[in-house]
Amino acid sequence: MPNRSIPRKRPWGARVCSIYHYCDIFPHVPTLFLFTNIFDCAAPLGFVDSMDKTNYISASLSKPMGIVFEENDTDFGGIFVLEINEGSSAAMDGTLRPGDQLVSVGETKVSGMQFEEALGAIINSKDAKVKLTFFRGPAKFLYGPAGASQDWLNEFIRGGVKVESA
């Protein structure tokens, strides 16, 4: 059987890579060995770390924002920017790009929410300018096994981990 590499994150930021190696110590007993290397682990191709604050952007926009959102595949949930209408407040701001994953509306976490719920948070906001925070990376790195822990994401949204506007 082939070797398999599984990247995992630790709260202190060290990346751990476990290598599962199948071999036969005894000719008739297959055995599984686990080797862990905390120093050098290759990330998946195109990996964007969702626990790195530099991969998040925020924009404070007035309504109507001019953002067309689309729902992610059901495997992940959540919504992302499909396109930005010309001449809109989002286009004038210049921060957002198609593919950005919506994470929060103000201090309300919307990552993983259904389409209507996430948009409802924007629509129901009473603020003149609504602060939106986005993850700049594919849904699979925000919601998949390599995604940010919910504790980290909650702290980030509450302001414990600062993000700078682009």
DSSP 3-state of 149: coil
Cβ atoms of 2 and 23 within 8 Å: the answer is no
Query: What integer pLDDT is reported at residue 145 of this predicted model?
Result: 84
33 beta partners: 21
Q: What is the pLDDT of residues 7-58, one digit of tens each?
A: 444 343 444 444 444 444 444 444 444 444 444 556 667 889 999 999 999 9
Long-range contacts of 41-48 (CB under 8 A, 24+ apart): 41/5, 41/7, 41/15, 41/16, 41/17, 42/5, 42/7, 42/17, 43/7, 43/15, 44/7, 44/146, 46/138, 47/7, 47/141, 47/146, 48/135, 48/136, 48/137, 48/138, 48/141
The domains found in the chain, sorted by start residue, are: 4-37 (no CATH), 53-158 (2.30.42.10)
Query: What token pair was written down for 100?
Result: 């950005």
Q: What is the pLDDT of residues 70-95, one digit of tens each?
A: 999 988 889 999 999 999 999 999 99
Query: What integer pLDDT is reported at residue 29 of this predicted model?
Result: 46
DSSP state of 114: -
The residue type at 140: K
* 77: Cβ contacts below 8 Å, ≥ 6 apart: 71, 112, 113, 114, 143
- pTM exceeds 0.85, yes or no: no
